[in-house]
Structure 1
Amino acid sequence: MKNLSRLFFVAVLVASFSASNAQDKNNPWAISIGANAVDYYPVGEDTPQGDYFDEYFNVDDHWNILPSLSTISVSRYLSDGFTFTATGSLNKIEKFGSNVDATTGAETTNSVDDLSYYGLDGRVSYSLMEVINSKVIEPYVGVGGGYTWLDDSGAGTLNGTLGFNIWAGEQVGLNLQSTYKHAFENSTRKHFQHSVGITFKFGGTDTDGDGIYDQDDACPEEAGLEIFNGCPDSDNDGIQDSKDDCPNTAGLAEFNGCPDTDGDGVVDKDDNCPTVAGLKTLAGCPDADGDGVADGDDKCPGEAGPAANNGCPWPDTDGDGILDKDDKCPSEAGTAANNGCPEVKPTEEVMKTLNEYARTILFQSGKASFQKSTDQVLQAMTAILKEYPNADFSIEGHTDSQGPASSNQALSERRANAVRDYLISNGIAAERLTSTGFGESNPIANNKTAAGRKENRRVEVKLKN
């Protein structure tokens, strides 16, 4: 009953150690179960004990082994490679060093009655796994203390430990360990305790089950990949969803995860022609004739033309070099000056009629002002000129020879200009008309007769080339 009480006490203390630290790393907890061996011999004492590490591996003569589950440890990772471990163990001591026969010098195992052995120890250990850069073998060193009972006596101990974990996976490993316990009471004696066991790590939380613990998982509630710290890449294009503009369609990093099927530099989601290479300016659609109209909207995709004409060139039906859209006479060849219409020149007959009117213009005597009866003549001339909007005319004034020549010259200029002003004021473009006075220099009849002088006092209209 007494031994069971001690074992129960050990179990309670181990459980209390297991709750002594808060969680702060993936799988921070570990539990180890196994067997232990106690060796009282190689501890630097006189017979029946021996020098330090003397016959350290003499299992048969010195090790006390309880061939059953005899050790249990609970560990809690602290930080930066440090771990706290609480261990409870039991054993039976039957070998306590060795005796040497004084006569023969023969050495025999020093046997004792089955002494009950119980230990409760705590230590802080430091992992050297990163030092040796290994993912499997984890050596560690530790220091701590505890209390050991040997049968009915007990004493505190100062402990030093060297051990190895050999990990078969992320959470399961084989533990090998040797601890030197320096007892502070002779009743317990200093000794070595070796152990071997299986270690199980636990305590990590992986909410989304992606194999990345929540503590290191940037997306703890959404299964993802280790390369993206636990965040998903739904389309497997190497770009995590949170940075992927097209998370459900595999694409390219240069387009933030969006595809460009036709390779034209316009991503499919913005490409109006995603399977045919095209131009960025035309939303990814091609323009075979280079006229700026996408082929799909171009009624003449093989021939350049303006967008206003659906990509087709403007026609020039009459072949006069003026496109139908600008040609007021698209079916009749004309000139640009006449908006595509033919230049209509007044005939000789028309010019004859025009001059018949012009010669009947009557002025006030010696002046450039018109007589009232002349108004109808001028209106008739205006009407004729309007029929030929692209023809230019020269208005010429003439006088008879009576009076000074200089006066006649000036009068002829004023009268020619008066006719021009009238025509302009009645709708004839000024740039189509010029006026010139010739005075008495170009008579058409004899100035010596009244009839001749009358004919010489005239206005003539000439067609300009």
Structure 2
Amino acid sequence: MNKYFFIALFFVSSLASSQSVNLDTDVPWTIGIGVNIVDNDGFRFDKPFDTNNWNFKNPLSINVERKWRDFLSTNLAITLNKLTKDNKQNNGYLTESSNLFALDLTGRFIFDQYIWEQNPRIDPFEGYALLGVGYTSVLNTDSIMLDVGLGFNFWLYEDIGLRLQTMGKFGFNDNQYLKNYIQHTAEFIIRF
């Protein structure tokens, strides 16, 4: 448990100490709250939209994002969900339903400004790719994860928007239920 405390402390201190960075943006912070879906069916690429085994029970997603440049940001997210024993979880079934807790720190490369010219403050759309590390806990088992994904921010009114994101999470252990999974999120976001 101490190693997770030190990892979290390192990430928080890195965010705090970088306050002196010269920013390209006048709205560096974004907070979001929403829901998530855990697709834990073992990365079945033959049926990518088979929703029969998606987990959507008590799904909460909260995040804080810090934008360093118009094209680069860091995000810290906490997600909760419940894996149900009735759904197939990585080609197996749980003996009992279990809560899933995930903590993710990702870097985001905002790429849409390289596709067409825009003013970041009034552009209604932001596309980004993400890469980072995460921690997931299910059935009293922990796993460190590699996070890779894509997301889109839709700014509906000035600094209020909607975020849609899909992230593949690859585990560094042999636990059947935490090996790999996909997490989809939809969040209400505010930047300031």
What TM-score bracket applies, with the shorter chain setting the length? 0.7 to 0.9
Q: Tell me, what secondary structure is at the counterpart of 1:57?
A: coil
In the alignment, what sits opposite 2:61? 71
In the alignment, what sits opposite 1:116? 99
Q: Tell me, what secondary structure is at the counterpart of 2:12?
A: helix
Pick aligned residue for 1:83 from 73, 92, 95: 73
Pick aligned residue for 2:110 from 102, 109, 127: 127
Pick aligned residue for 1:191 from 154, 158, 181: 181
In the alignment, what sits opposite 1:224? none
| AA of the residue aligned to 1:177 | Q
Q: C-alpha separation between the residues in 1 aligned to 2:186 and 2:83? A: 18
Q: Structure 1 residue 186: deviation in Å?
A: 2.0
2:150 is the alignment partner of 1:162: yes
In the alignment, what sits opposite 2:12? 16
Higher-Rg structure is 1
Q: Structure 1 residue 67: deviation in Å?
A: 4.6
In the alignment, what sits opposite 2:136? 148
Q: Structure 1 residue 136: deviation in Å?
A: 1.4
In the alignment, what sits opposite 1:29? 29
Q: C-alpha separation between the residues in 2 aligned to 1:137 and 1:80? A: 13
Q: C-alpha separation between the residues in 2 aligned to 1:65 and 1:179? A: 16
Which stretches in structure 1 are left out of the alignment for 5+ residues? 1-8, 44-50, 100-108, 203-465
Q: Tell me, what secondary structure is at the counterpart of 1:185?
A: coil
- Per-residue deviation, residues 400-430 of structure 1 (Å, max 9, x unmatched): xxxxxxxxxxxxxxxxxxxxxxxxxxxxxxx
Q: Structure 1 residue 146: deviation in Å?
A: 1.2
C-alpha contact 1:96 1:112 (8 A) present in aligned 2 = no
Q: 1:64 to 1:179 in 2, by over 3 A?
A: same
In the alignment, what sits opposite 1:38? 38
Q: Tell me, what secondary structure is at the counterpart of 1:130?
A: helix
| AA of the residue aligned to 1:27 | V
Q: 1:35 to 1:123 in 2, by over 3 A?
A: same
Q: C-alpha separation between the residues in 2 aligned to 1:171 and 1:42? A: 37
In the alignment, what sits opposite 1:171? 159
Q: Tell me, what secondary structure is at the counterpart of 1:21?
A: helix
The alignment's TM-score, normalised by the length of structure 1, stands at 0.34
In the alignment, what sits opposite 1:200? 190
Q: C-alpha separation between the residues in 1 aligned to 2:174 and 2:88? A: 13
C-alpha contact 2:152 2:164 (8 A) present in aligned 1 = yes
Q: C-alpha separation between the residues in 2 aligned to 1:42 and 1:130? A: 34
Whose RCO is larger (CA < 8 A, sep 6+)?
A: 2
C-alpha contact 2:40 2:90 (8 A) present in aligned 1 = no
Q: 1:40 to 1:168 in 2, by over 3 A?
A: same
C-alpha contact 1:147 1:155 (8 A) present in aligned 2 = yes
In the alignment, what sits opposite 1:286? none
The number of residue pairs the alignment matches comes to 172
Q: C-alpha separation between the residues in 1 aligned to 2:174 and 2:90? A: 18
- Per-residue deviation, residues 67-120 of structure 1 (Å, max 9, x unmatched): 55x110100011250110011111100123487xxxxxxxxx956521110101
| AA of the residue aligned to 2:31 | I
Q: C-alpha separation between the residues in 1 aligned to 2:130 and 2:139? A: 27
Q: C-alpha separation between the residues in 1 aligned to 2:143 and 2:42? A: 19
Q: Tell me, what secondary structure is at the counterpart of 2:114?
A: coil
In the alignment, what sits opposite 2:53? 62
C-alpha contact 1:42 1:55 (8 A) present in aligned 2 = no
Q: Tell me, what secondary structure is at the counterpart of 1:113?
A: coil
C-alpha contact 1:35 1:66 (8 A) present in aligned 2 = no
1:307-456 map, 5 Å: none
Q: 1:145 to 1:26 in 2, by over 3 A?
A: same
Identity among equivalent pairs (%): 29
Q: Tell me, what secondary structure is at the counterpart of 2:77?
A: strand
Structure with the higher fraction of residues in strand conformation: 2
Q: Tell me, what secondary structure is at the counterpart of 1:86?
A: strand
Q: 1:120 to 1:20 in 2, by over 3 A?
A: farther
Q: Structure 1 residue 62: deviation in Å?
A: 1.6
Q: Structure 1 residue 21: deviation in Å?
A: 3.1
C-alpha contact 2:64 2:76 (8 A) present in aligned 1 = yes
CA RMSD of aligned residues (A): 2.5
C-alpha contact 1:177 1:196 (8 A) present in aligned 2 = yes
Structure with the higher fraction of residues in helix conformation: 1
Q: C-alpha separation between the residues in 1 aligned to 2:170 and 2:90? A: 20
Q: Structure 1 residue 163: deviation in Å?
A: 0.7
Q: Structure 1 residue 159: deviation in Å?
A: 0.8
Q: 1:20 to 1:96 in 2, by over 3 A?
A: farther
